[in-house]
């Protein structure tokens, strides 16, 4: 397939992705429990429909196996006013909040309350309540994630940038090995540098989109203590150094050999910094917890039908750009041969 084919399929997939990103709503979730100016306890939610069925709402505190109901008042679709009457004895002082809605399903917020005055009786149980039903009447929607909220849509842009960079740097790595195994200067060196240039473009976009995401979710453009961020930056700088090295050597044969060796080390460093090192360090990235892969809470079925096409679409678009650059280099060589 030539560059037009890769680009056409990639653009078609990305149009599908962007359409869903713009159209699919974010699911409901509980944001926080707070005390207002009058000392009343309020529940703040996102994307909920409390006012649509106030008589069918049920509010509980406790843990999933030990729950007791709370009195409440519906303020609007996204806000509840609680009137908690805590028992004299509790099995633990830190309690979760559960809101059961016929529209939104069962929503929970961990450690929503801390009852300091309660007497702890570990074996104490409360009056039994019906098992919480997690079903809802909502249509297709993205999952609610605390701290991320609507910015979860950036998942379809930010993360595929790194997948595309990995793919293109893998091509560059393979072509560098191929060049080192050859005895003469051939197309392998040109393919290695072209794929590295294209991959570096996606790496820079990954840094920019990641910085924007960090600003809206973590409150800062860059968190210096996060190993995932620092590893990504170092990787981009290493590949930028690869291009600088090529520009510093005039002899084409020597340039190709030295840069090929450098490229091998660069790709190994890429694997270490972005795939191995984060497994042994905590990261602010959602779903990490010492593991760089997504877990079941970060990538559900609604995200998969958008995320996977986004990854494939961006990779195909990157391949189209890579093949186009190769085509341009080939035409440039032909033109130079025709010039007197």
Question: Using CA atoms, how far apart are residues 326 and 340, in angstroms rounded to an integer?
Answer: 24
92 and 175 inside one domain: no
297 and 185 inside one domain: yes
Residue 46 bridge partners (DSSP): 29
Q: Is residue 83 part of a domain?
A: yes
pLDDT in tens, 121-159: 766 666 555 655 666 677 888 888 877 888 889 989 999
285 and 319 inside one domain: yes
104 and 155 inside one domain: no
Q: Is residue 279 part of a domain?
A: yes
Question: Using CA atoms, how far apart are residues 38 and 23, in angstroms rounded to an integer?
Answer: 39
Number of CB atoms found within 10 A of residue 248's CB: 10
pLDDT in tens, 293-338: 455 445 667 888 999 999 999 999 999 999 999 988 878 777 766 5
Q: Is residue 192 part of a domain?
A: yes
274 and 327 inside one domain: yes
Map tokens 């570096």 to a residue: 200
Burial 65-77 (b: 16+ CB within 10 A, else e): ebbbbbebeeeee
pLDDT top residue among 113 and 291: 113
Question: Using CA atoms, how far apart are residues 243 and 232, in angstroms rounded to an integer?
Answer: 17
Which residues span the domain enclosing 81?
29-120
Q: Which two tokens stand for residue 180?
A: 């080192």
88 and 195 inside one domain: no
Q: Is residue 224 part of a domain?
A: yes
pLDDT in tens, 164-205: 999 999 999 999 999 988 867 778 889 999 999 999 999 999
Are 43 and 61 spatial neighbours (Cβ–Cβ below 8 Å)?
Answer: no
Pairing of strands 89-90, 119-120: parallel
213 and 326 inside one domain: yes
Q: Is residue 111 part of a domain?
A: yes
Q: Is residue 181 part of a domain?
A: yes
Q: Mark residue 47 as left, alpha or beta (left: phi above 0; alpha: psi -120 to 50; beta: remaining).
A: left
| CATH number, position 92 | 2.60.40
Q: What is the pLDDT of residue 35?
A: 78
Q: Which two tokens stand for residue 241?
A: 């150094």
Number of CB atoms found within 10 A of residue 230's CB: 15
Instruction: Quote the DSSP letter at residue 87.
Output: -
53 has pLDDT over 90: no
Last residue of a domain, one of 120, 142, 158: 120
Instruction: Quote the DSSP letter at residue 177.
Output: H
Q: Is residue 134 part of a domain?
A: no
Q: Is residue 268 part of a domain?
A: yes
237 and 288 inside one domain: yes
Per-residue confidence band for 290, with pLDDT thresholds at 50, 70 and 90? very low
222 and 89 inside one domain: no
Last residue of a domain, one of 120, 136, 159: 120
Nearest-5° Cα angle at 153, 317 to 17: 40
Q: What is the pLDDT of residue 56?
A: 87
CB-count exposure of residue 206 (10 Å: 0-12, 13-18, 19+)? buried
Q: Which two tokens stand for residue 154?
A: 């950036």
Per cent of the chain over pLDDT 90 is 40
Last residue of a domain, one of 120, 136, 161: 120
84 and 176 inside one domain: no
| CATH number, position 208 | 1.20.120
182 and 109 inside one domain: no
Question: Using CA atoms, how far apart are residues 124 and 161, in angstroms rounded to an integer?
Answer: 52
Count of structural domains, the chain: 2
Per mean pLDDT, which range of 34-38, 71-75, 231-235 is the poorest? 34-38
87 and 157 inside one domain: no
Per-residue confidence band for 291, with pLDDT thresholds at 50, 70 and 90? very low
Rounded to two decimals, the pTM is 0.84
Per mean pLDDT, which range of 12-16, 136-140, 217-221 is the poorest? 136-140
């Amino acid at each position: 397939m030539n560059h037009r084919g890769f680009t056409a399929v990639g653009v078609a997939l990305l149009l599908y992705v962007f359409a869903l990103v713009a159209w699919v709503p974010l699911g409901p979730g509980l944001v926080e429990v707070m005390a207002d100016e009058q000392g009343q306890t309020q529940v703040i939610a996102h994307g909920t429909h409390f006012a649509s069925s106030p008589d069918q709402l049920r509010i509980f505190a406790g843990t999933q196996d030990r729950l007791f109901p709370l009195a409440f008042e519906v303020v609007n679709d996204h806000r509840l006013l609680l009137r908690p009457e805590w028992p004299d004895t509790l099995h633990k002082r830190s309690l979760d909040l559960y809101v059961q809605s016929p529209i939104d399903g069962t929503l929970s917020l961990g450690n929503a309350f801390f009852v300091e005055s309660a007497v702890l009786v570990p074996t104490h149980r409360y009056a039994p309540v019906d098992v919480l039903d997690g079903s809802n009447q909502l249509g297709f929607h993205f999952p609610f994630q605390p701290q991320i909220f609507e910015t979860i849509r950036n998942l379809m842009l930010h993360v595929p940038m790194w997948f595309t960079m990995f793919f293109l740097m893998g091509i560059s790595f393979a072509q560098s090995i191929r060049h080192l195994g050859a005895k003469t200067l051939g197309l392998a060196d040109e393919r290695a540098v072209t794929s590295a240039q294209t991959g570096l473009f996606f790496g820079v976009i990954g840094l920019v989109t990641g910085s924007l995401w960090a600003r809206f979710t973590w409150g800062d453009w860059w968190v210096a203590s996060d190993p995932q961020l620092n590893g990504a930056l170092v990787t981009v700088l290493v590949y930028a150094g690869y291009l600088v090295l090529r520009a510093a050597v005039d002899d084409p044969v020597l340039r190709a050999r030295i840069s090929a060796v450098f490229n091998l080390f660069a790709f190994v460093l890429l694997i270490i910094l972005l795939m191995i090192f984060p497994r042994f360090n905590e990261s602010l990235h959602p779903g990490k917890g010492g593991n760089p892969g997504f877990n079941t809470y970060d990538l559900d079925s609604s995200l998969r039908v958008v995320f996977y096409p986004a990854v494939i679409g961006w990779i195909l678009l990157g391949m189209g750009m890579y093949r186009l650059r190769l085509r341009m280099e080939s035409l440039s060589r032909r033109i130079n041969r025709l010039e007197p």
